[in-house]
Amino acid sequence: MSFKLPQKLRMGSSLELVGAYLLAVFWIFPLLYAFWAAFHDTQYAIRFELFAPLTLDNFREVMSQAPFFRYGLNTFMVVSFLLPLQLVVSTLAAYAFAKYKFFGSNIAFVLVLVQLMITPEILIVQNYGTLANLGMVDTIAGIGLPYIASAFCIFLLRQTFKSIPKELEDAAQLEGCGTLGLLWRVYVPLAMPTYLAFSLVSLSHHWNNFLWPLIVTNSVETRPLTVGLGIFGAPESGVDWSIISAATLLSVAPLLIAFLLFQKQFVQSFMQAGIK
């Protein structure tokens, strides 16, 4: 529909455009600045000499001072072990809540939802004790363990499963599908968008998680990127802006690049997860 806008309104919208872009520039600026600083010598970064010579020394320095590659590998191991387990455990539970009226299922569901409020990092004191008793302090598995059962994932999948029409279930049963066959052949394929949405949200959450991994890990072999970066950037370690910028950039790069490439999916996933 295109009709000519009144002069006043057009003025308004070009002002709005300027405002929108100013806000965007302000929002993206800190990251751009870190990006710029990472490729320049600290003395230029501090003086903000925009066209100072580019250098990769900062990245070399970071890699020689701290094992960021190893940290990245650890983070990758945490998320790649955690996410499949989250999906399996939550799928089974969500299926139980969506399709079975089992003894105490209503109360059980409310107890599941409690975890939406009381996330494991709130209970660090006690959960650290539990992990110590299990002998899992300073292990990759220990970083992920408290998050395997995710109330959020159970809730999302239950909502999705409930919306799947009963006729499909009946048809599958006629074809001779058992309980798990039904779940695997009918429910899981139909819930793919929900799985994708949760996966992206979970991935970005655990890639960025800090407090619990900080408490659990105390060696290079387990420490994820965030904790490594936290130690590296601590003010007492002698702050060199450009080197810290380089380290920061290295830590956020994998997720940030994934986000920039699959921006639409990420945004839609967060949106979808929020509506439910």
**Interface residues for another protein in 140-159 (CB under 8 A)?**
145-146, 148-149, 151, 154, 159
Q: Which of residues 56-85 bind another protein (CB under 8 A)?
A: none
Local structure of residue 135 (DSSP, 8 states): T
Spatial separation of the C-alpha atoms in residues 15 and 9, rounded to whole Å: 10
Spatial separation of the C-alpha atoms in residues 127 and 214, rounded to whole Å: 13
* Residue 261 tokens, joined: 């490439």
Which of 103, 176, 189, 219 binds another protein (CB under 8 A)? It is 103
| H helix count then E strand count, the chain | 16, 0
Which of 44, 59, 95, 198 binds another protein (CB under 8 A)? It is 95
Supply the minimum distance, in Å, between the C-beta of residue 241 and another protein: 6
Q: Which of residues 159-218 bind another protein (CB under 8 A)?
A: 159, 162, 179, 204, 207-211, 214-215
Nearer to another protein by Cβ, of 114 and 174: the residue is: 114
Which of 54, 111, 192, 220 binds another protein (CB under 8 A)? It is 111
* Residue 244 tokens, joined: 């810290």
Which of 55, 115, 139, 173 binds another protein (CB under 8 A)? It is 115
Among 58-66, 120-128, 168-176, 185-193, which window interacts with another protein (CB under 8 A)? 120-128
Say whether residue 124 binds another protein (CB under 8 A): yes
Supply the minimum distance, in Å, between the C-beta of residue 214 and another protein: 7
Nearer to another protein by Cβ, of 171 and 261: the residue is: 261
Torsion of CA 245, 250, 251, 255, to 10 degrees: 120
Per the CB < 8 A criterion, the answer to whether 196 and 265 are in contact is: yes
Say whether residue 17 binds another protein (CB under 8 A): yes
* Residue 92 tokens, joined: 């089974």
Say whether residue 262 binds another protein (CB under 8 A): no
Neighbours of 165 (CB within 10 A): 9
Nearer to another protein by Cβ, of 67 and 233: the residue is: 233
Which of 5, 11, 15, 23 binds another protein (CB under 8 A)? It is 23
CA proximity to 75, closest of 7, 4, 140, 156: 140
Spatial separation of the C-alpha atoms in residues 243 and 245, rounded to whole Å: 5
101 Cβ neighbours under 8 A, 6+ residues apart: none
